[in-house]
Structure formats: C-alpha cells, structure tokens
Structure 1
C-alpha cells in the first residue's frame, strides 16, 4: 500500500513538473471573496435535536471567480464518495475533519468536489492531505452537500507544514 502511494506521488510530481508554472498554493480563506463576511455554523452545531442541525448553511455563499481554471494546491480533509477500501476516485475536500459527516457541512464555498483519474490511496481519513489540480468555479450537488468548486486532481500528498 505504501509503495503504491509513493508511486502515485511520483507520477503526480512528474505530471506537475511538466507544467511551465508550479501550482498556486491556496488556503480555505482564498475560496471566499475579499470583503465577504463568512458566517460559521459550527458554533451552533450539535448532534442533538432536529435534522435542522445537519442542514448546510449559506447555499448562496459567493465564490472567487478568478480561481477558475487555475492550477492550485489546497490542503484539507477527505470525505470519500467513490472508491473502495484501497483507492478513492471521488471525494469532497473540506477544511476540517468531520465536515459533512459528524457536523453540518460548511458553506459551498468551503467544499471542493474532487475527482482523480485512477484513484488514490488514502491511508487515514483523520490525516490532512494536500490536493493538486485544476480548480473550477462550478457547483456540484450530492447527498452530503453542495459545493461551490470542483477539481480535477493530478496529485494527492500528505499535508506538511
């Protein structure tokens, strides 16, 4: 399993190296337009009570249109959507562990729907990763959440400070 991860990481690095410019390193606050005050629902999140606690807030959360089509790298946590116990090929990238599963989903501008051709092994869902690929400003909707961004990933690596 470890060797497969290293192989995928090397292939990802080679494909990234083929581009003229390295991917732009972005963070979650970069997905929110400057001047927009993002309201967090996490303070009120609860596992008790009504289903309303699990409703995704701010479905009209604004996105940063200038990111569309850029090659970027973004750290976050995985919420698997497609794959098996060995490889995942589709997932939600979220800013904190448990988003969309243990607590209500963040606003759409804080979730990225990611697809990676051929899949990638994820050792632990508790560990942060960095995803590299081309980000698109487009909505995606699934059972767990609605997103404001999608990404066709070319690489996934463990997050490093």
Structure 2
C-alpha cells in the first residue's frame, strides 16, 4: 500500500495551497507585480521543498553491517554492584555522522530537574545502564538539548529527533558511541 510520511504530505499540501493562493493573487496584480510575486512564490516553495526530513533510524542501523559480535565469556560476578560494559569500543557507522535523524529509545537522565532534562542517554531497552550492565557503546546515544525538554514518564519509550554525530562521549555510567544534538522529543 502506498503511504506518505508526514513531511511528504506537508509538501503536497503546501504545493496545492500555494497554487491556490498564487492563482487568486495573480488575477489582481499588474504585470511587473506579477513577475515579482511569481519569483517570491517560487523562492519560498523551493525552501519548503528543501526542508530536510529526519531519517528514521532503529538500533540495528547503528551497528555496521559487517560487524560480528565476538563470543564473550559470561561476566564475572561482582558482589559490590559494579557492572562492566560489554564492548565499550564497539564500531560505529561513520556514514551517519552529521545526519538529521529520528530514533526511538528509553531515557536515562543525566542533567536536568524533575520536570525537564537537558542531557540524557538514549538506550534501546528499559533499564539499560541502570539495572543491568550497559549495552555496547554503539547502542547508546548521548543526547543534549540547548533548552530543557519535558520527559513525561521515564518508563515509556520516546522518539528523539536531532543531528547525529559519531563523536563519542564517556561518563561514569558508560562509554557512548554516538552523540545527538536534540531538537525534539515525542512519545513513541
């Protein structure tokens, strides 16, 4: 079945709306005004078409296709509660660097207050980095927002949109392979 994404629907709707407005306004303008109006409409329509839609990524997209997970012995029991991260230097997909993306995941808060966060880790499953050992570094995304964003419930998955970077991050909790400069958060 043929389906359109939100951004494709918006492009079609803006095209038909601009066409209608153009026809209505074109009727009442003089000749030199018509050319000016036409150039302004074409310029604004070009900007609307060039608006970049984020690429929807999933966690398997963050792992190189040729990477084989090495067989690891079972982790040693640590009675002090310390958890060692599996593959802290896992390989990254370098072609994703600088791309505008949208990725789902669970939030592990790092910086903010009870109502809103500015920094958090995005992980593929609930409890990663908190109750269980951290996943490989290419399965953790460090997210930073310039302004605090509300996260309604830490138990629910969210979509995070922003510019992805392959520049890692290292914290007390885990080594991270990807950074994301966040622009939006929404419910999954």
State the Cα deviation string for residues 71-123 of structure 1 (Å, max 9, x = none).
00000000000001111000000000000000000010000000011111111
Match of 2:154 among 112, 116, 125: 125
Structure 1: stretches of 5+ with no match in the other structure: 1-16
State the Cα deviation string for residues 17-41 of structure 1 (Å, max 9, x = none).
8962200000000000002123598
1:152 and 2:181 equivalent?
Answer: yes
Provide the C-alpha distance between the structure 2 equivalents of 1:109 and 1:86, rounded to a whole number of angstroms: 28
Higher-Rg member (1/2): 2
Match of 2:61 among 15, 25, 30: 30
Q: Kindly report the root-mean-square deviation, in angstroms, between the aligned alpha carbons of the 2 structures.
A: 2.3
Q: Which residue of 1 aligns with 2:51?
A: 20
Q: Which residue of 1 aligns with 2:30?
A: none
Moved over 6 A (4+): none
Superposition pairs of residues 38-117 of structure 1, within 5 angstroms:
38=69, 49-50=78-79, 54-117=83-146
- Aligned 8 A contact 2:106 2:123 in 1: yes
Which structure would you say has the larger RCO, counting Cα contacts within 8 Å and 6 or more residues apart?
A: 1
More helix by share: 2
Structure 2: stretches of 5+ with no match in the other structure: 1-47
Structure 2 vs 1, CA of residues 88 and 19 (structure 1 numbering), >3 Å: closer, same or farther? farther
Provide the C-alpha distance between the structure 2 equivalents of 1:63 and 1:25, rounded to a whole number of angstroms: 17
